[in-house]
Amino acid sequence: MPTRVHLPAAVPTLAPSRLHSLVENRTVFALDAFELNIFETHQAAHRVPLRLDGLALTTMLRGKKVMHLPDRPAFDYLPGETVVVGEDELMEIDFPEACLCQPTQCLAVAIAPDTIRQTVDLLNERYPRAETHTPWALAGPEYAHLTNTPELTGTLERLVAVSRTTDTAKDVLAGFTLQELLVRLMQTQARELIFHDYARHLTTHRFAAVVQYIKEHLAENLSVDKLSALACMSKATFFRLFKREFGLTPVEYIVRERLAEAKRLLRQPLLSVAEVCLRAGFNNLSYFQALFKKHEGLTPGAYKKQ
């Protein structure tokens, strides 16, 4: 079963009579700090070229694209995912399933390099990361195709809302929201880097060792004392820097890892929900069931049946 998709609030598609083009029809909201584009495609098309000014953070809302970016294999691009496209980088896009009854829709936030630089400089000056040799920065192409986190999705939703409002202070509000968006993007990339690729960074990043320990001891009692000692930090510093770097607390991360393990175990037909609860590190069945439903939208039993 796929991971739950995190999408911003729906943006209505345009009526056919309001479309200037059936392929990548573009609606633009221009603000001081960025340009928000909403692209819609209502018919199948292949190798459609697109280039935006500045770095572009794009998020799929509906439908399916196949992305062709320089020096990278083509890949499917689906709702709930984000792709970061480099400054003035040429995209070539396929729309294999688009039609009037099933359009493709995508957000693209084009951000000027100076805006990004100012935010990154501010973070490195006032809120440095745990490892001084890995300052805040947008990651390269290896971490450009991401699954949206709830935090990134929520910020995108607010950015769209403020861009479409008629509030006279919207440029000021949008500037603050854009800064948050850049932070959330870098936190999401940091999760990909350390949470999913921790083995490559065990000797260079102290949080990689913490992540490895959590993954290998999910069914055990994971004390903050042990984790902060692994990171060679006080408990307060460990909590603060972990949340700063990844956008969630160590406890929230442990819960998410245990839920992911529970989903894996629920696919095994011979294991009961109660057995899965214990093996995934949850000691209370009622708590596990309520937490699972909150995060996944259905109970462990219903998930197992599907």
The CATH number assigned to the domain holding 83 equals: 2.60.120.280
pLDDT in single tens digits along all 306 residues of the chain? 445 688 888 899 999 889 999 999 999 999 999 999 999 999 999 999 999 988 999 999 999 999 999 989 999 999 999 999 998 899 999 999 999 999 999 999 999 999 999 999 999 999 999 998 999 999 988 899 999 999 999 999 999 999 999 888 999 999 999 999 999 999 999 999 999 999 999 999 999 999 999 999 999 999 999 999 999 999 999 999 999 999 999 999 999 999 999 999 999 999 999 999 999 999 999 999 999 999 999 999 999 998
* Res 1: pLDDT: 45
Query: Where in the sequence is the domain holding 220, given as residue range(s)?
Result: 198-305
> Could you tell me if 236 and 103 lie in one domain?
no
> Could you tell me if 245 and 159 lie in one domain?
no
> Could you tell me if 156 and 282 lie in one domain?
no
Q: What is the pTM of this model?
A: 0.91
Mapping DSSP to helix (H, G, I), strand (E, B) and coil, where does residue 294 land? helix
> Could you tell me if 177 and 204 lie in one domain?
no
* Res 10: pLDDT: 85
> Could you tell me if 81 and 133 lie in one domain?
yes
* Res 91: pLDDT: 96
Report the C-alpha gap between 76 and 64 in whole angstroms.
7
Report the C-alpha gap between 219 and 259 in whole angstroms.
11
Q: Which residue(s) pair with 40 in the sheet?
A: 25, 105
Provide the residue count of the chain.
Answer: 306
CATH code where residue 299 lies: 1.10.10.60
> Could you tell me if 104 and 225 lie in one domain?
no
* CB burial of residue 140 (10 Å; 0-12, 13-18, 19+): exposed
Report the C-alpha gap between 163 and 111 in whole angstroms.
14
> Could you tell me if 156 and 90 lie in one domain?
yes
> Could you tell me if 129 and 210 lie in one domain?
no
Q: Is 291:300 a contact under the CB 8 Å cutoff?
A: no
Closest C-alpha to 233, from 132, 130, 302: 130
Give DSSP secondary structure letters for 223-287.
-HHHHHHHTTS-HHHHHHHHHHHHSS-HHHHHHHHHHHHHHHHHTSTT--HHHHHHHTT-S-HHH
User: Which of 137, 164, 195 represents a domain boundary (last residue)?
Assistant: 195
Closest C-alpha to 115, from 35, 8, 28, 27: 35
* Res 9: pLDDT: 85
User: Which of 163, 180, 195 represents a domain boundary (last residue)?
Assistant: 195
Tally of domains within the chain:
2
User: Which of 165, 195, 225 represents a domain boundary (last residue)?
Assistant: 195
> Could you tell me if 153 and 267 lie in one domain?
no
Report the C-alpha gap between 16 and 32 in whole angstroms.
30
Report the C-alpha gap between 170 and 51 in whole angstroms.
26
Tell me the residue ranges of DSSP E strands in 5-54.
25-30, 34-41, 45-50
> Could you tell me if 180 and 237 lie in one domain?
no
Inside any domain, residue 176: yes
Q: Is 204:131 a contact under the CB 8 Å cutoff?
A: yes
The 3 state secondary structure assigned to 92-146 is: EEEECCCECCECEEEEEEEECHHHHHHHHHHHHHHCCCCCCCCCCCCCCHHHCEE
* Res 5: pLDDT: 82
Written as six digits, the tokens of 159 are 């950015």
> Could you tell me if 215 and 280 lie in one domain?
yes
